C-alpha cells in the first residue's frame, strides 16, 4: 500500500522485516519442540535461539534460487553454523509461511478491533450529544417524517457493534497455523509437536490440513474487513449528502489554512468522506480475490500466494486508515441543528401527513378514503408553495376539522409528539446511561 494510507503501527505489522521475523519465530518454536524430544542437542538449540536473518542477504540468495523460503533458510543458517541442519526439520515451506501469515493477520486483526472500538465509542458519544437534535428523516432522498440526528447515529453505533462481533470471530478463525508437512499427513512432524509449537506461538491448530491452511479462513477474514468498509462507506455517503449546499445540515471540519478547491476559493468539499467511499471499493476487491483463493488444486498449488502478498497487507492497512479517518471525521465534524430544523419545517407540514391520516382512521373513516383526502391536500400544497401550507389546508378541510380540534391539530404537527419513543432505542443500546442523558 502507498505511504499516503499507511499508518505506522499497521505498516510495521506487514513490513518485510516483521514477516521474516515471524518466519524465524515459527522455525524456532518447532526447533524448541524438537529439542524437548531430544532430536536437537543443547549446543545447537542455544545457537538457534539467537539465529537471525539478514534481509539483504536473503534477497541476494533468492536471486540465485528463485525461492524465498530456501533463501531465508540459507541466510538464517549462515548465522548458526552447523546447527543449521536442525532448522526446518520435517517442514515444508507452507508450514512456515502460512503459520507466520496467521500471526501477522492475528496481530493486524487485534489492532483493527481496537480501532473499531474507538470509532464505535466516538459515534456513541455523538449519538448521545444529538439525541434530541430534531431533523428530517428521508426515504428515497425525499422528506419523510421527523427523526433525531442522534437516532441516526444510534443506528450506526449498533451496526458498528455487530461489525466488532464479526471481526472478533474472524480474528479467531484466522489465528490458526499448521505444521503438518508436505501434504498434511504429519509424516515427519508428529501432531503433538505441531500443537506444542503452535501453542508457543499463541495460535490454534488447523485440525485437518493439506500442505496449507485452508483458504476459507482467509476469505472470511477479508470479507469481514470488506463488510466493515461497507459500513464506513454508508456513513460517508450520509455525510456527503448532509454537506450538500442545498442541505447543509452537517459538514466535515474545515481548519484554518485548509483549501477545498484549486479553482474555487469558496469550496469546502467532503473530501474525507469521498475518500472513505473510494477506499471501501478496494476492500471489496480484496474480498473477492480472497474467495478466488479458496479453490486450490489437490493438496495445494501456489496460485493464492502472489495474491495474498498484496491483499492481506493492503486490506488491513486500508481499513486501519479508514477507521482512523472516520473516527477523526466524526469526532470533529460540525453540525447545524438550526438548519436541520429549518429543513424539517420547509415543507409546510407535509411530513405530518401520516399522523393526519391515522387520526381520520381512528375516528372511524375508511383508510383509503382518509388517504385520498390527505393526499389531495398534500399535493395541492406541494404544487403551490406560495399558497396555503399543508397544515393550513388541513385545518380548513371540513372532513378533518369536524374530527380534530385546533389543539389536536397542533399536536399532530409537533415533531416531538411522534418522537416520544426515541429514548427506548437508546435504552436498548445502553447508550447515554453514564452521562445522565437517558
131 CB-side CA count, 13 A: 20
Strand 134-139 to 142-148 pairing: antiparallel
| Sequence-separated (6 or more) residues with CB below 8 Å from residue 145 | 136, 137, 351, 352, 354, 418
Dihedral pair phi/psi, residue 148, rounded to 5°: -125, 155
Select which of 67, 188, 261, 396 is catalytic.
Answer: 261
CA atoms of 194 and 97, how far apart (whole Å): 15
Give, in order, the Cα–Cα distances in Å from 249 to each of 102, 136, 212, 318, 339: 44, 10, 52, 29, 6
310 CB-side CA count, 13 A: 12
Select which of 15, 67, 139, 140 is catalytic.
Answer: 140
Q: Residue 425: left (phi > 0), alpha (psi -120 to 50), or beta?
A: alpha
Active site residue 261: yes
- By C-alpha distance, which of 242, 318, 329 is closest to 278? 318
Active site residue 143: no
175: DSSP letter:
S
Residue 316 and residue 218 in contact, taking contact as beta carbons nearer than 8 Å: no
**Count helices and strands in the chain by DSSP H and E runs:** 18, 6
Residues marked active site are found at: 140, 261
Amino acid at each position: 500500500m502507498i505511504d499516503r494510507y499507511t499508518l505506522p503501527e499497521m505498516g510495521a505489522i506487514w513490513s518485510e522485516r516483521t514477516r521474516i521475523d515471524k518466519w524465524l519465530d515459527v522455525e524456532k518454536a518447532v526447533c524448541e519442540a524438537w529439542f524437548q524430544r531430544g532430536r536437537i542437542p543443547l549446543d545447537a538449540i542455544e545457537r538457534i535461539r539467537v539465529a537471525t536473518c539478514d534481509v539483504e542477504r536473503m534477497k541476494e540468495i533468492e536471486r540465485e534460487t528463485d525461492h524465498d523460503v530456501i533463501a531465508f533458510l540459507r541466510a538464517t543458517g549462515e548465522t548458526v553454523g552447523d546447527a543449521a541442519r536442525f532448522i526446518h526439520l520435517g517442514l515444508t515451506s507452507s508450514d512456515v509461511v502460512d503459520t507466520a501469515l496467521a500471526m501477522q493477520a492475528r496481530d493486524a486483526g487485534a489492532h483493527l478491533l481496537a480501532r473499531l472500538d474507538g470509532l464505535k465509542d466516538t459515534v456513541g458519544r455523538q449519538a448521545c450529544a444529538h439525541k434530541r437534535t430534531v431533523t428530517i428523516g428521508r426515504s428515497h432522498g425525499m422528506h419523510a417524517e421527523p427523526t433525531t440526528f442522534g437516532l441516526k447515529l444510534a443506528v450506526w453505533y449498533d451496526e458498528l457493534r455487530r461489525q466488532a462481533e464479526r471481526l472478533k470471530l474472524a480474528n479467531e478463525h484466522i489465528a490458526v497455523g499448521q505444521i503438518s508437512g508436505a501434504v498434511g499427513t504429519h509424516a515427519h512432524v508428529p501432531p503433538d509437536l505441531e500443537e506444542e509449537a503452535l501453542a508457543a506461538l499463541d495460535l490454534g491448530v488447523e485440525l485437518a490440513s493439506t500442505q496449507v491452511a485452508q483458504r476459507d479462513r482467509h476469505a472470511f477474514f477479508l470479507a469481514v474487513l470488506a463488510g466493515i468498509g461497507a459500513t464506513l462507506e454508508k456513513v460517508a455517503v450520509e455525510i456527503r449528502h448532509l454537506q450538500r449546499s442545498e442541505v447543509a445540515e452537517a459538514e466535515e471540519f474545515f481548519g484554518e489554512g485548509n483549501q477545498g478547491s484549486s479553482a474555487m476559493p469558496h469550496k469546502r468539499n467532503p473530501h474525507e468522506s469521498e475518500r472513505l467511499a473510494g477506499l471501501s471499493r478496494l476492500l471489496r476487491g480484496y474480498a473477492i480475490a480472497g474467495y478466488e483463493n479458496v479453490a486450490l488444486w489437490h493438496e495445494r498449488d501456489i496460485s493464492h500466494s502472489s495474491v495474498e502478498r498484496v491483499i492481506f497487507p493492503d486490506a488491513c492497512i486500508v481499513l486501519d486508515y479508514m477507521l482512523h479517518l472516520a473516527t477523526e471525521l466524526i469526532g470533529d465534524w460540525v453540525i447545524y441543528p438550526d438548519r436541520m430544523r429549518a429543513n424539517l419545517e420547509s415543507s409546510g407540514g407535509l411530513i405530518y401527513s401520516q399522523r393526519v391520516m391515522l387520526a381520520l382512521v381512528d375516528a372511524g373513516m375508511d383508510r383509503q378514503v382518509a388517504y385520498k383526502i390527505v393526499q389531495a391536500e398534500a399535493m395541492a400544497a406541494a404544487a403551490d408553495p406560495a399558497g396555503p401550507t399543508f397544515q393550513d389546508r388541513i385545518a380548513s378541510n371540513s372532513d378533518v376539522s369536524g374530527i380534530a380540534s385546533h389543539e389536536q391539530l397542533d399536536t399532530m404537527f409537533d415533531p416531538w409528539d411522534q418522537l416520544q419513543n426515541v429514548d427506548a432505542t437508546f435504552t436498548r443500546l445502553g447508550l447515554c446511561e453514564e452521562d445522565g442523558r437517558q
